[in-house]
Amino acid sequence: MAVITVEPENEHITARTVYCVGRNYADHAREMGAEVPSEPVVFIKPATAVINGEAPIVLPTFSNDIHYEIELVALVDEVPKNISIEAADRYIIAYGVGLDLTARDIHSVAKKKGLPWATAKGFDGAAPVSRFKKKESGLINTTTTLRLTINNQVRQQDCIGNMIFSIPAIIAHLTKYFSLRRGDLIFTGTPEGVGQLQPGDSVKAEIVNIVSFSTRVQKL
């Protein structure tokens, strides 16, 4: 399993379940031809999807259309069941940036047939993440900006204030259904501008002025 590094103490925490929220930016929901949700749309990636963001992104052989989706990621401690939105923030350990890699060809077929997305979203290496910054007052706010650059061109950029559901609201929602454990990661949704990765692409994902990672894309 991947180990998450939390700065500044360089604490190491083993990554566990990855909880992802889909359609959490209205513009992205519209670009995907989907309705803007009235409550968080949740899916899960296994811990084996998590990799160090600095490692190469290796395109799997089972898909011809791997897409990037940049997301702010919250690393959480063990969280009680059924907590309130007001209480949720205290259980966040740190923040990082990640990519929700998606086999879009498999994903599209599954959606049309009403089938699960697990193979399209949860394959090995489908959740590259940065090092994490320990939560402190003012580190993250509504003006905090996500930016994804590919081959020196900005492909995705938005501030997290445009999320439909806030990070505490997502955590509170998850605790209705799941027992969150120390090391669980919460991917909080992607802005508009998702697209396909190509072999040789140079990728930089960042929470501007907070944390980032850079990598390259290669074939298996």
36: confidence class by pLDDT, cuts 50, 70, 90: confident
Q: Specify the length of the chain in residues.
A: 220
149: helix, strand or coil = strand
Q: What is the pLDDT of residue 143?
A: 97
Tens-digit pLDDT profile for residues 100-131? 999 999 999 998 999 998 999 999 999 999 99
CATH of 3-219, one of 2.30.29.30, 3.30.1330.10, 3.20.130.10, 3.90.850.10: 3.90.850.10
Distances (CA, A) of 209 to 34, 55, 69: 32, 21, 19
Q: What is the pLDDT of residue 28?
A: 81
Are 70 and 208 in contact by the 8 Å Cβ rule? The answer is no
Tokens representing 5? 């590094």
Asked if the model's pLDDT at residue 133 lies above 80, the reply is yes
pTM > 0.85: yes or no: yes
Tens-digit pLDDT profile for residues 197-214? 999 999 999 999 999 999
Asked if the model's pLDDT at residue 217 lies above 80, the reply is yes
9: confidence class by pLDDT, cuts 50, 70, 90: very high
Flag the least confident range among 30-34, 63-67, 191-195. 30-34
Q: What is the mean pLDDT of the chain?
A: 95
Q: What is the DSSP letter of 37?
A: P
Residue 161 burial class via C-beta count within 10 angstroms: exposed 0-12, middle 13-18, buried 19 and up:
exposed
Tokens 């059924």 belong to which residue? Answer: 82
**What are the boundaries of each domain within the chain?**
3-219
